Amino acid sequence: MDALKRFGPAAGRLLIAVIFVFSGIAKLTGLQGTAGYIASQGLPAAYLLAVVSMIVELGGGLMLIAGFKTRWAAAALLLFTLAAGFLFHNFWAVRADQVQNTMIHFMKNISMAGGLLYVVVYGSGPLSVDGADS
């Protein structure tokens, strides 16, 4: 049990962060496409939002992995994830043939938000830059 308490939080942070790091890298290499998708949803300042989302995902994901300012990183990713879920995975407003797939993505975001909330509340754990107290 001691090994689980020592390594579990770091492994959990890594597992949560992987999707954000890969998505942030994809945005970094395809910022125009991301901005186009954001604009297609009717949001203003699409390019600025694309840059901000890339920074939040890549930066927050790397901070989460390192356990650096972990609670702040998790809080930023939590808000980002909820916003993305409601703005881009609005299963209640899509065609009938898209409802199930869109709802799965929405629920994925809600589940990720739950994991991130856990990190906000309990911190990074012992194997982190922040240490056990973050």
Residue 131 is predicted with a pLDDT of: 80
In a domain, 132, yes or no: no
In a domain, 15, yes or no: yes
Question: In the chain, how many domains are there?
Answer: 1
* Threshold 0.75, pTM exceeds: yes
With the C-alpha atoms ordered 66, 72, 54, 118, is the resulting torsion angle positive or negative?
Answer: positive
In a domain, 95, yes or no: yes
In a domain, 83, yes or no: yes
In a domain, 40, yes or no: yes
By residue range, what is the domain housing residue 112? Answer: 2-122
Residue 134 is predicted with a pLDDT of: 43
pLDDT by residue (tens digit) across 71-101?
999 999 999 999 999 999 999 999 999 999 9
Mean pLDDT of 42-50: 97
Distances (CA, A) of 128 to 49, 83, 110: 30, 27, 25
Residue 4 is predicted with a pLDDT of: 93
In a domain, 130, yes or no: no
Dist CA 51 CA 36 (whole Å): 12
Average pLDDT value over all residues in the chain: 95
